[in-house]
Chains A and B, each alone.
Chain A
Amino acid sequence: MSQRPRVAVAKFTSCDGCQLSLLDAEDDLLAVCERVELAHFAEASSDLQPGPYDVALVEGSITTEHDAERLRELRRQARYLVTIGACATSGGIQALRAWGDVGEWVEAVYPTPAFIDTLATSTPIAEHVLVDFELRGCPISAKQLVTVITALAEGRRPKLPSHSVCLDCKRRGTVCVVVAQGTACLGPVTQTGCGAICPAYNRGCYGCYGPMPQANGRRLVDQFQRLGHGADRLVPLLRNFNAAAPDFRRESERLEQAADGGAS
């Protein structure tokens, strides 16, 4: 990439929060724009240039067939493809449809469900195309985004930490909400990136950066159960913005089965 790398921002099913993070990097925004060319960024510019692109930043999950096709086309146009946020990396909050009946959900929300064209699934980008780098979070951190764009612009592979939120709490000197208050907190199994905000604000982590590599969710859930938390609270805790991430998904389903088994 000798010239300014051409960056495209693409959106699938999502809230726009992750791409907004780029506009939220106010101090860096104009500087970033000097280093890279924002060739296609519909939320920010009416000047939409065709590919190929050096980097495609992809927000959102795949919930329609048409979007799956649009994504494959984008992949053909992009040298590097980076997913931004929980929707793109694990399916987002809309992936909860995996545990519901989409047909019934559509009927509950829309008076004329026949007009609705949506899949029964909300899948992450990596289930459809090759992903070069994943940026976690709901939303992503603007700082990490700038790090990734800068690294790719310089032809380096971005390096981001993958330890747990828990470790950042220790660094910040935050009193542990599990130890002090018995709160169910996903910090020990959640990947860092947010700066460990929730415990600092006196609440448990709800896992918006998704499971860290080698998370031992099972042990943590067992511990929470010993502290008196029931499946009625732990299942929704594991099932939110990264509900479909394999580690969170497995634990929530195990809890649910155990609860059902216990009831019958």
Chain B
Amino acid sequence: MSDELVDVPILTRVEGEGALTLRLRDGKLVDAQLRIYEPPRLFEALLRGRPLEDAPDITARICGICPVAYQMSAVHALEMALGVMISPEIRRLRRLLYCGEWIESHALHTHLLQAPDFFDAASGIELAQRFPEEVTRGLQLKKFGNRLLEMLGGRAIHPINVAVGGFHRWPPRAEWDALIPSFEWGLEAAQAAARWVATFPFPDFEQDYESVCVAGPGEYPFNEGDIAIGPSMTIPVAEYEQHFAERQVAHSTALQSVRLPAETAYLVGPLARINLQREHLRPVARRLADEIGFENPCRNPYRAIVARGLELVQAYEEALTILREGVPRGPSRISYTPRAGQGCAATEAPRGLLYHHYEVDDAGRLVSARIIPPTSQNQGQIENDLRAYATRQLLTTTRRDVIATGCERLVRSYDPCISCATHFLKVRWEDAV
């Protein structure tokens, strides 16, 4: 018997730190593991005892690339605990803020993180030598997402304007209006970008997925709604923990979310959203999906970049619609009196469903917090994909470096956010025996 480990010691072009190990015996795959060595930051513990108003500022620091998702899930969950009903204007602005995050995150991932893989480039900067116009356009698309976040949130990373009950202040009218032309350009440019990524040379690899996403009330999943599990089942968010749980499974050293009761892996993120909710895309994005012949359901994980491209169009379209409706009116924040209670909410971070659950006491302090980020939900599925992919590759090649690169690209297509993975365990690695 000969044992062999193929190691990708550091995953690049992802958020946070992780690594990948394939374990082989006599040339056959025994196991594939995504190892997360990001040290734990213990957010759920450090939130306890703090004023509930701190939750949006602190949970934002779980992840620098999707802080708005954390802020949105947190405020929605806490408002449920407090019985706060937000106004339609606050709701409209929250959607707009979320658009900014989807735009900057999707534009970054598609152009600088994932696209280089299809052209054997090491980085977006190297890719820019071959596709200067496309990469520059991508950076510009990203920049307007950041400008939107700055207008509404004060700054792009860890915005400061989000509060339980609404916003500290409405944005200034002049800055609001000034963004409209940028978003008109952006809606066009995003379509061009989506058409471009749709032409990439995708590896021929398909998997079966159970898709899970927020089911918005008659709209593309975003910042509120129930939870759709596959095409025919929808549950209220309050029942999330009856259908999903975090597990430590024998073959992995990391916590993974599983579907109950079967304990199976599932898929969250852009592919899951578009597979389940395509008909709710806005008209321009929907037409483009048809035009480029996006298959439904899409079962090729590498094509998540196309789903991301379509969602970039969706986010620009949604943002432009909201911007054209004009600056909001009325109170920017609904007041409340603290009371003891519990609340939960799920929103769609750019990379997938993000669930928060809080308990608060009658003095307005956090008693407990539970945060289940997208990456921990996707991790079981990523490992399933890796096993299937590596097993198949081993039939046609013995080049370990080729297999390792293919696996790394597969992981990257998920846009995993390892900083977010508050539930991953530090790995103690042992060689194959």
Q: Which A positions have Cβ atoms within 8 angstroms of B?
A: 11-21, 23-24, 26-27, 29-30, 33, 38, 41-48, 63-64, 67, 92-94, 96-97, 100, 102, 104-106, 108-112, 115-118, 138-139, 194, 197-198, 200-203, 206, 208, 232-233, 236, 240-241
| Structural contact, B160 and A197, CB atoms closer than 8 A | yes
| Structural contact, B157 and A24, CB atoms closer than 8 A | yes
Which residues of chain B have C-beta atoms less than 8 A from A33's C-beta? 125
Assuming the A-B contacts A24-B146, A43-B13, A139-B158, are A203 and B419 also in contact, with contact meaning beta carbons closer than 8 angstroms in the complex?
no
| Structural contact, B154 and A197, CB atoms closer than 8 A | yes
- Taking the closest CB of chain B, its distance from the CB of A6, in whole angstroms, is 14
Please tell me which stretch of B44-52, B337-345, B382-390 contacts chain A, meaning at least 4 of its Cβ atoms lie within 8 angstroms of it: B44-52
**Nearest B residue to A33, CB-CB:** B125
Main secondary structure on B side of the interface with A: loop
| Structural contact, B65 and A20, CB atoms closer than 8 A | yes
| Structural contact, B425 and A112, CB atoms closer than 8 A | yes
Please tell me which stretch of B56-64, B320-328, B349-357 contacts chain A, meaning at least 4 of its Cβ atoms lie within 8 angstroms of it: B56-64
3 nearest CB pairs, A to B = A17-B64, A45-B123, A105-B45
- Taking the closest CB of chain B, its distance from the CB of A160, in whole angstroms, is 17
| Structural contact, A93 and B146, CB atoms closer than 8 A | no
| Structural contact, A118 and B46, CB atoms closer than 8 A | no
Which residues of chain A have C-beta atoms less than 8 A from B39's C-beta? 12-13, 63-64, 67, 117-118
- Taking the closest CB of chain A, its distance from the CB of B99, in whole angstroms, is 17
| Structural contact, A16 and B419, CB atoms closer than 8 A | yes
- A97 and B427 alpha carbons, distance in the complex (Å): 21
- A67 and B426 alpha carbons, distance in the complex (Å): 12
Partner pick for A48 among B12, B38, B40, B61, CB 8 A cutoff: B12
- A24 and B422 alpha carbons, distance in the complex (Å): 24
A-B contacts, 28 of them at CB < 8 A, read A15-B61, A15-B419, A17-B65, A17-B67, A17-B157, A17-B158, A18-B64, A19-B64, A20-B65, A23-B112, A30-B125, A30-B139, A42-B11, A45-B13, A47-B122, A63-B39, A93-B41, A93-B58, A96-B46, A100-B45, A105-B46, A110-B425, A116-B425, A118-B426, A139-B64, A139-B155, A203-B168, A240-B58
Q: Which B positions have Cβ atoms within 8 angstroms of A?
A: 10-17, 38-46, 48, 50-51, 54, 57-58, 61-65, 67, 104, 108, 112, 116, 122-126, 128, 136, 139-140, 142-143, 146, 154-158, 160-161, 163, 168-169, 246, 248, 253, 255, 363, 408, 419, 422-423, 425-428
Most buried by A among B42, B67, B122: B42
| Structural contact, A16 and B160, CB atoms closer than 8 A | no
| Structural contact, A15 and B64, CB atoms closer than 8 A | yes
- A96 and B65 alpha carbons, distance in the complex (Å): 22
Partner pick for A201 among B16, B169, B408, CB 8 A cutoff: B169
Which residues of chain A have C-beta atoms less than 8 A from B246's C-beta? 111
Assuming the A-B contacts A26-B142, A139-B157, are A13 and B61 also in contact, with contact meaning beta carbons closer than 8 angstroms in the complex?
no
- Taking the closest CB of chain A, its distance from the CB of B133, in whole angstroms, is 13
Which residues of chain B have C-beta atoms less than 8 A from A194's C-beta? 155
- A183 and B427 alpha carbons, distance in the complex (Å): 45
| Structural contact, A115 and B253, CB atoms closer than 8 A | yes
